[in-house]
Amino acid sequence: MKYGDFFKKLKSGEISPVYLFTGEETFVMNSALNKLIAAVVDEDLKAVNLVRLPENASGEEIASAAETVPFMAQKRMVIVENSAFLQKGSPEGEERLEEYLSKPQPDTVLVFLSPLADKRKRIYKALSKHAVVEFDTLSDAELSAWCVKEIKARGLEISVPDAAFLCEYTDPSPAAMVNEIDKLAAFCTEKKVTKDDICAIVTPCSDYNMFRMTDALSAGDAKTALDMLDGLLAQKEDPFYILGAVTKQYRQFLRFRAMEGAPKQEIIASLGIRDFVYNKYAAVCRKYSEKQLLLAVDICAETDAGLKSGAKNPDTALFELAAKLALILNKK
């Protein structure tokens, strides 16, 4: 099931005796685990009714822990993190664990946490008969909705477009964004969070500034691109990092162009980008020819060689690069 279904069932009081939490969105996974713990284990009795086992726990250890009667409570919880039963290798007691999973104790909630669970494993197949909760990377729409919910939980409001902008502006992962949302909650003077608040309070991710610079270059706006570059250097951003990011951007444009005609999700997966980035790449590739993009990559390579040889001052070399790219990309 998707994690959204898990939250709905938990809210209605529907709790399974066995769970497998799997997927790459570990921040949301940990949040779900904390909510499950709060629903199952009395805060005052966590020391005796909440057990965490290591990844190398044997089948006997896991089953025995799960079979232990709760102390002065209706339920207890056993958590197994990154169990070897769901990865490489063959730990001891697999049959014993399978036997338990075939008939779990109703007064124990057994949870396996395994971001990269191997679906070929016997224990995975046994767990799949219970509740397997998938925590996949959030889509842009899901991430925006998550932002709206988190901001509302702090007594503030934000529009969906401004939430989407927040996802673009900073590191688009819940683990990083929750810190930025806390900053907004602490420093916003009004109840409604706006785009201006985001720009004034939130720390932009370097990718956002890099994309703004390449956007300006692509639009022929050399002045804005040079101003952006000046700002990055003033922030003591490493010139080699800036050059690497710009080079990567144009190489990505070329890869995107080479995959033209392929399904959208295939391109997103291959390039490792998000939905909103896909749309920006599409706009760039509609505007520029493959020849222009190849020339841009060649100039980046020449700049890299010049920097590594020490022939040019790094800052000067980057300003020259920006000027050349603006000229090439706007030559008809």
Pairing of the two strands 76-81 and 192-193: unpaired
Which are the contacts of 222, defined by CB distance < 8 A and separation ≥ 6?
A: 216, 322, 323, 326, 327
CA–CA dist 26, 52 (Å, integer)? 17
Give the chain's domains with CATH numbers.
3-134 (3.40.50.300), 140-201 (1.10.8.60), 206-329 (1.20.272.10)
For residue 332, the model assigns a pLDDT of 56
pLDDT tens digits for range 59-90: 899 999 999 999 988 999 999 998 888 887 66
For residue 75, the model assigns a pLDDT of 92
Does pTM surpass 0.75? Answer: no
Q: For tokens 């009004």, name the residue.
A: 190
For residue 71, the model assigns a pLDDT of 92
CA–CA dist 321, 313 (Å, integer)? 12
For residue 27, the model assigns a pLDDT of 87
For residue 110, the model assigns a pLDDT of 95
> 3-state class of 88 per DSSP?
coil
CA–CA dist 74, 81 (Å, integer)? 24
For residue 331, the model assigns a pLDDT of 65
Q: Give phi and psi for 106, each to the nearest 5.
A: -70, -20
CA–CA dist 249, 301 (Å, integer)? 13
pLDDT lower than 50: segments of the chain: none
For residue 211, the model assigns a pLDDT of 75
For residue 137, the model assigns a pLDDT of 81
**Cα angle for residues 283, 288, 289 (degrees, 5° grid):** 135
DSSP label at 221?
-
pLDDT tens digits for range 101-113: 999 999 999 999 9
For residue 272, the model assigns a pLDDT of 83
